[in-house]
Structure 1
Amino acid sequence: MKAQDVMEPHLPTLEDMQQWTQVLGRAQQLMLEQAAGATGRTLPFDPEAVARIQTGFADEGLALWQRFLDSGGLLRDHPEPPPSDSPAAARDRRFADPAWTEHPFYDLIRQSYLLLSDYLTKLADAVDGVDPKQKAKLRFATTGLLDAIAPSNFPLTNPLVVQKTIQSGGENLVKGLQHMLADLEKGQLTHTDGTAFELGRNIASTPGKVIKETPLYQLIHYAPTTDKVLETPLIIFPPWINRFYILDLSPEKSFVKWAVDQGISVFLVSWKSADASMKDVVWDDYILDGQIDAIDTVRDLLGVPGVHAIGYCVAGTTLAATLALLAARGEADKVASATFFTAQVDFSKAGDLTLFVDDEQMKMVEQLSSGGFLDGRYMAATFNLLRGRDLIWNYVVNNYLLGQDYPPFDLLYWNGDTTNLPARWHKDYLTQLYRDNLLVQPGAISVAGTPIDLRRVRTPAYVQAGREDHIAPLESVWKLTEHFSGPIRFLLAGSGHIAGVVNPPSAQKYQYWTCAESQPTLEAFLAHAKETKGSWWPDWIEWIRGQAPATVPVKGARRPGKGRLKALEDAPGRYVKTR
């Protein structure tokens, strides 16, 4: 788009811009006062730091306005290159279109917004002498406010929307309104075209059979594709906060299919989305009637002493508790190895999610869970807030303002396919783990009357973290290595909570870091780690084979439904389809 082709809104005066600055300053002051009320005292600032921030903001603001006037402002015929942006501003995808920099008015709007963002962020950081969590809340709220008021989010200050509106005669806004009304009706922001996917056909389509069903889960046994398989089978525990098929997306991305093709007998637990019948379900149930029951089922079916187990996210946290309980019972050999995908056990550095566990938030969760379960749309909204710029406002612009069609994207389809959570479990999880961090305190948590202690876990473990994970931060996942007593291989994958895990070798994307020898601290790991391009999955399968290399022919119970447990239905089963 050329700069001269963009319709020009009314040019604000310097007084107009000062007014908006004051309004946003007052908005931040309200957040400061809220944080002060939570601490019971006035928030302390470093006067010298605040003075420097305010002086710098005023000087840079005037300089920006003067540059605009000196260059001829909106009257200049040939746009001049704008001053160089900071590296962060240059990477800001909201302003990637050339019109944001080539057109003088929009360049002024953009630079003014970035300047204001820098000012308010620095002012939030200048709060000192308060509880770190209160300061983190203030910074989180400031970031959320700034993301919401970005000029890209409004029709008259986004050159792309202005141009699209002119070209389409306003049809984009009508279509965007249709999108918005549809989202309001279903109570959830749409990210992708849901009609493009069908469970069992082009997503969650790895062949297999459901061989067991309980009130809590279905157990899927996937059909082998090799003549021989590892004698020790693999059981995968996905998080029940989401649908299991994050690990079985399209065949090209499916971890399940890839693992089957590597010669592993793969079983997977498909959790039931909570309803009123699960109002009394607690964490003990997911450990005893979920993970241990599934482990014993696979052991008995195949006649093996132990299994390899994978726990993803909250299921990884639960797997750690399961291992501790088995160790306390003298049954640790039931799990030959444990793999943790972006899982946390020590929540002292759990990131922004800890901001959602104060008393006020817990009261709201209780109100939303009056039926005995929490609607999954609440959790989806919470996770979206953690990356509001990418998962909320980006789609507001594309779907509502530009009126664009939804692209078919399996990962975003999964992201919007929410599950409900048992109310009692969810409350205990937030309070006992995120808020009180009891899991790493020996004996502080008991399962079926047995106190558990993570230090007793000696099971060989493979711990994977994501470098850019905003849900389970790297620093938090690393702490798992500080509480187990057995051999641990720690691996850092490129990208985040999802793409860092779902990264098939065929994609040739990202990278991972490992150390030949275990390291005492995360800092030491980062200093000595070797980078390898591509997927980390081959590293994992090599580690698995090293734990138990024996293989057996595929016959009898190694085929789904051919052992004592008969097939109930085809994978992916009815639990994952229940809404």
Structure 2
Amino acid sequence: MITAGAVEALRVIEEITGEKEANCIGYCIGGTLLAATQAYYVAKRQKSHVKSATYMATIIDFENPGSLGVFINEPVINGLETLNNQFGYFDGRQLAVTFSLLRENTLYWNYYIENYLKGKEPSDFDILYWNSDGTNIPAKIHNFLLRNLYLNNELISPNAVKVNGVGLNLSRVKTPSFFIATQEDHIALWDTSFRGADYLGGESTLVLGESGHVAGIVNPPSRNKYGCYTNTAKFENTKQWLDGTEYHPESWWLRWQAWVTPYAGEQVPARALGNAQYPMIEAAPGRYVLVNLF
């Protein structure tokens, strides 16, 4: 995920555009990957290609993994590892069912009753359509996430996680970061998400949005359906931070735009897509999004 994924992507970006740094965004486990990638740059004594880091509903400290904690124990993880190693991947359909059962009344039984028993057609809802777009996960990645992160919580311990023989130490990451968490998130609890900032060495900005893991993050500024809370004062615990917050009725995206603008640099003309070494394959969004697991 780190060397063949994030590091390679940033290298190719530089080759195509000439830009040596990027303002990076990581959503959910993608944010965990973003933090680990920066720690890898430091461990390799390489210049980081990440100018600013935005963490959306991200867990770095897995001590309290929210509702998923009911599945985090040795027998369950042993069983999943056996299944993953047998097939070489974790089926995205199983992952979708797992997350649905965490909110069984609204994400499982509701559709069983209304659609299957009553025969009603589900209403068009872009977020639920996106939410049902499952992806298979390679066995090695899924096993690592379950055991090393969720069960053993190794990422927050200096040098416990090693990539290509070098240990990762989050405290050496000095990149400025922006954490956006949401109040009703049951996958990445907002206070757990904010605790991740304690392990990074750079300056962090924390914003708490309304709603949950998906709707609270998507929340386009054009609608301003959900507001957000901010607090720049120092705090000893997340309750103290919440008690001192200021509420804003607009989407958190506006707060993020103001934060990231100083790191954005000057505008440049639209670039040609790809280059001779990395030619464009096809127009976005590509054929991959048409592949269906069901």
Separation in structure 2 between the aligned mates of residue 296 and residue 380 of structure 1, nearest angstrom: 32
Whichever residue aligns with residue 94 of structure 2, its letter is: Y
Relative to structure 2, which stretch is displaced further, 337-346 or 390-399?
A: 390-399
What stretches of structure 2 of length at least 5 have no aligned partner? none
Q: CA deviation at 1:564?
A: 5.8
Whichever residue aligns with residue 450 of structure 1, its letter is: V
Q: What residue in structure 1 maps to residue 246 of structure 2?
A: 530
Q: How does 1:127-146 map to 2 (within 5 A)?
A: none
Whichever residue aligns with residue 538 of structure 1, its letter is: L
Q: What residue in structure 1 maps to residue 280 of structure 2?
A: 567
Q: Which of 177, 195, 209 in structure 2 is aligned with 1:479?
A: 195
Q: How does 1:391-540 map to 2 (within 5 A)?
A: 391-540=107-256
Query: How big is each residue's C-alpha offset from its partner over 1:540-571, in whole Å with a ceiling of 9 and x where there is no partner?
Result: 111111234x314315xx23246763321111
Separation in structure 2 between the aligned mates of residue 573 and residue 495 of structure 1, nearest angstrom: 31
Secondary structure, counterpart of 1:349 in structure 2? coil
Q: What residue in structure 2 maps to residue 305 of structure 1?
A: 20
Matched-pair contact (CA < 8 Å) for 1:342–1:472: yes
Structure 1 residue ranges, 4+ long, deviating more than 3 angstroms after superposition: 516-520, 561-565
Q: CA deviation at 1:453?
A: 0.6
Instruction: Give the TM-score normalised by the residue count of structure 1.
Output: 0.49
Whichever residue aligns with residue 435 of structure 1, its letter is: L
Give the 3 Å change call, closer, same or farther, for CA 331–521 of structure 1 in structure 2.
farther
Higher share in helix: 1
Whichever residue aligns with residue 357 of structure 1, its letter is: I
Separation in structure 1 between the aligned mates of residue 14 and residue 250 of structure 2, nearest angstrom: 34
Matched-pair contact (CA < 8 Å) for 1:441–1:453: yes
Matched-pair contact (CA < 8 Å) for 1:301–1:563: no
Task: Count residues in correspondence.
Answer: 291
Matched-pair contact (CA < 8 Å) for 1:320–1:454: yes
Matched-pair contact (CA < 8 Å) for 1:471–1:497: yes
Q: How does 1:261-300 map to 2 (within 5 A)?
A: 286-300=1-15
Q: CA deviation at 1:486?
A: 0.6
Of all paired residues, the percent bearing the same amino acid is 37
**Structure 1 position 355 matched with structure 2 position 59:** no
Q: How does 1:52-201 map to 2 (within 5 A)?
A: none
Matched-pair contact (CA < 8 Å) for 1:354–1:435: no
Matched-pair contact (CA < 8 Å) for 1:432–1:438: yes
Q: How does 1:364-383 map to 2 (within 5 A)?
A: 364-369=79-84, 370-383=86-99
Instruction: Give the TM-score normalised by the residue count of structure 2.
Output: 0.94
Q: What residue in structure 1 maps to residue 266 of structure 2?
A: 551
Separation in structure 1 between the aligned mates of residue 158 and residue 50 of structure 2, nearest angstrom: 21
Secondary structure, counterpart of 2:54 in structure 1? strand
Q: CA deviation at 1:429?
A: 0.8
Q: CA deviation at 1:331?
A: 2.7
Matched-pair contact (CA < 8 Å) for 2:23–2:263: no
Q: CA deviation at 1:367?
A: 4.6
Secondary structure, counterpart of 1:346 in structure 2? coil
Query: How big is each residue's C-alpha offset from its partner over 1:153-201, in whole Å with a ceiling of 9 and x where there is no partner?
Result: xxxxxxxxxxxxxxxxxxxxxxxxxxxxxxxxxxxxxxxxxxxxxxxxx
Q: CA deviation at 1:518?
A: 4.4
Whichever residue aligns with residue 576 of structure 1, its letter is: V
Whichever residue aligns with residue 347 of structure 1, its letter is: F
What stretches of structure 1 of length at least 5 have no aligned partner? 1-285
Whichever residue aligns with residue 81 of structure 2, its letter is: E
Q: What residue in structure 2 maps to residue 6 of structure 1?
A: none
Secondary structure, counterpart of 1:418 in structure 2? coil
Whichever residue aligns with residue 35 of structure 2, its letter is: A
Whichever residue aligns with residue 326 of structure 1, its letter is: Y
Bigger Rg, structure 1 or 2: 1
Matched-pair contact (CA < 8 Å) for 2:27–2:56: yes
- Give the root-mean-square deviation of aligned CA atoms: 1.7
Give the 3 Å change call, closer, same or farther, for CA 516–475 of structure 1 in structure 2.
closer
Q: What residue in structure 2 maps to residue 18 of structure 1?
A: none
